[in-house]
Structure 1
């Protein structure tokens, strides 16, 4: 049984996630701001083995400020951002909260790359904050 499901805006890409989120992060890096219209991306990290994707994803990769290769996946038909993955952490996938169906129980716990945030950014003071790359998330 799926713990979470997801779908893009046009329905061409769907997902089923069997496990719980490992961590939920807001990312303020410049690349995330570019794909999120100037705001952070908000991402739930899941174990790669807990994720099943149906449909065709379009991908783009680049070397991020962390030095890791990041691969961003999105629906090639409607452009909905689906997930990212890092070469440093192949055991995880970071799914965009907007892709997930009713992710009401997933709220950010951590804000990362805050040194790249614009001056007008409002970062919840209750979140754990990392100016740059955070350590790996805890595993269960």
Structure 2
């Protein structure tokens, strides 16, 4: 079953021909900046299964993980569409959950970069929190961060 979505103004649309691999919150500082102070909520898909149409602007930067990450935005309304690692360990494409026509397809099950979150950040009770993200030495080391729950 294909999944579809688009930006706020409708200038960018996409279709995904695979089911989600998973979903997670990201509290890295880059995501906080592009999400106006909150975490991004990302649904993970195989990169080759995602096809965008419409005019997008991209930017690349080296993330806290050391990976080079590309982010895609609608050129008209600025909606964040995706992020993907272009240099670093191979990873799925991160599609912003809010851009999916059906954001219910895959609820988040994990929080990454938890210690980077501000003290007031809402953490769902019982959700695993990792200290870092893919490509970082701390990637597989869970942390409870009970003071944030």
**TM-score, normalized by length of structure 2?**
0.85
Q: For this pair of structures, how many residues does the alignment match?
A: 135
| Counterpart residue number, 2:147 | none
Distance 1:23 1:96 in 2: 12
Further displaced range: 126-135 or 100-109: 126-135
Cα offset, 1:90, TM superposition: 4.5
Cα offset, 1:105, TM superposition: 2.8
Q: Specify the SS of the correspondent of 1:104.
A: helix
Distance 1:34 1:119 in 2: 16
Distance 1:89 1:106 in 2: 23
Distance 1:14 1:91 in 2: 22
Please, what is the CA RMSD of the aligned residues? 1.5
Distance 1:20 1:128 in 2: 22
**1:33-92 deviation line (CA, Å, top 9, x unaligned):** 001110000000100111111112101111111000011101010001000001224452
In structure 1, list runs of 5 or more residues that go unmatched: none
| Counterpart residue number, 1:124 | 124
Matched, 1:73 2:78: no
In structure 2, list runs of 5 or more residues that go unmatched: 141-149
| Counterpart residue number, 1:57 | 56
**TM-score, normalized by length of structure 1?**
0.90
Closer, same or farther in 2 for the Cα pair 1:60/1:126, shift >3 Å? same
Q: How does 1:1-140 map to 2 (within 5 A)?
A: 1-2=1-2, 4-86=3-85, 87-90=87-90, 92-134=92-134, 135=139
8 Å contact from structure 1 (residues 110, 129) kept in 2: yes
